[in-house]
Amino acid sequence: MGNLVKTVGIVFIIIAYPFLSSYLAAQGYANLELLVFAALTLWRGLHAKMPALRVGSFLFAALLLVGAYFAHAYFIWLVPSFAYLWLTVLFGHTLWMPPSLCERLVRLQYPDFIPGIAEYLREVTWAWTLFFAANTVICALLPTLAGPGAWALYTGLLVYGLMALLGVGEWFYRRRRFPDLDIPPLVETFTFMAKHGHKVFQGERS
């Protein structure tokens, strides 16, 4: 229950960030928000068990501190891009250092696979890697090309709709590609991953 509450809290912060950022930047408090997120990122890095996550968190916190020092509002707009870049690296490096991240996540719930599943999950990992890479660029360009309002709408709402479409679409495609596979309901899968997905980054298994 504690992990689920923590996950919900993190999701709420992530969704609220774009709209809170736009408001604080307009009020001249861009550096304050960057300091807060730098502290949170540093705290996450200190508690990370994977060396890659620890180093990535420290570098991200350093970038946020640079932005806070110069009090430049554009650094606020770049925070989602840094997050998606981190996700791109996180998913992408497992394509060269298998098993893929999606395979690691699914094995938490189903340790044994039928032939072909591992290869399929590698393809799914590729899809998410490319999705996050594209959003790294989109979120960085939107503030200058369309303005902070469009950036807040996309990063705070639309991008999560796209994630949901990708996740639900994959679930339906999996049922069609593997018609004989016992696939749990979508809500059950999301709930399980919310509770136990962190174990992948801690080197644990269910």
Q: What is the pLDDT of residues 114-166, one digit of tens each?
A: 889 999 999 999 999 999 999 999 999 998 899 888 988 999 889 999 999 99
Phi-psi region of 182 (alpha: psi -120 to 50; beta: other; left: phi over 0): beta
Q: What is the pLDDT of residues 44-77, one digit of tens each?
A: 778 777 676 778 778 878 877 877 766 666 777 8
User: What is the token pair recorded at 135?
Assistant: 């959003």
pTM for this prediction: 0.76
pLDDT of residue 28: 64
**Hey, where are the domains in the chain?**
78-202
Q: Kindly write down the DSSP assignment for every residue of 52-91, as one continuous string.
A: HHHHHHHHHHHHHHHHHHHT-THHHHHHHHHHHHHHHHHH
